Amino acid sequence: MKVAILGYGKMGKEIEKIILKRKYKILIKTNSKSQIDINKLKKCDLAFEFTNPDSAFGNIQLCLKNKVSVVSGTTGWKIRKKTIQDICEKNKVSFLHGSNFSTGINLIKNIIPEINLFAKNNNDFSISIKEKHHKYKLDSPSGTAIDLKNILKNKNIKIESERNSKKEIGFHEITIKSKEETIKIQHQANERYLFALGAVKYGEKIKHKTGYFNLDLKKIF
């Protein structure tokens, strides 16, 4: 497989390690859209887009229009789902967006329908979300926390965000609380590698598919 890494920051470098271990070829590795070699891009099977909110959509369009499928983990930008779907269908490529590529977080997302059912029948419980990341993370609250809130289908849920640490990779916690008891569901990322590994694994699954995908394990696998 031939790949492009768009966004050669911490995530891009972790993805590079995995790509090389798998003996795939990296044709493009850049932080700048202006440095993307279109001829090289056209030879790629898959692009990993982990840049910033200002660059994401332009990078994604460029790849898809050149028939290159994309895995993007950039958060904080307005996802133009219909536009991306149309480009994917026209060019027979795929796009996968995820705020968090760890298996643990996506397992939690699959548990949430049970929490929704529980909350619906127990009005005396309140639900809150807490997330912590390193102080250099640009968006707050995190895309993962927003995703969790949306899946929980409760507009009144408050998200508490912390950006104090230099080393915090990612922590998310859902708290379900009543006067009598407290239930906590936590996920702590210990290494950035787990996000990169997830992104590569999902990319391998969708590169020959057509369409727009979220991190729905049932649809991807």
Catalytic residue set: 133, 137
Residue 112 to residue 107: CA distance in whole angstroms: 9
Residues 6 or more apart whose Cβ sits within 8 Å of residue 201: none
Max Cα distance, the chain (Å): 63
Residue 133 to residue 128: CA distance in whole angstroms: 17
Residues 6 or more apart whose Cβ sits within 8 Å of residue 33: 6, 55, 58, 59, 62
CA atoms within 13 A on the CB side of 207: 16
Q: Are strands 126-134 and 158-165 parallel, antiparallel or unpaired?
A: parallel
Q: Amino acid letter at 206?
A: I
- Spatial contact of 92 and 193, defined as CB atoms under 8 Å apart: no
Residues 6 or more apart whose Cβ sits within 8 Å of residue 2: 24, 25, 26, 27, 43, 44, 45, 46
Peptide bond into 141 cis (omega under 30): yes
| Selection from 52, 64, 144 nearest residue 98 by Cα | 144
Supply the DSSP symbol for 18: H
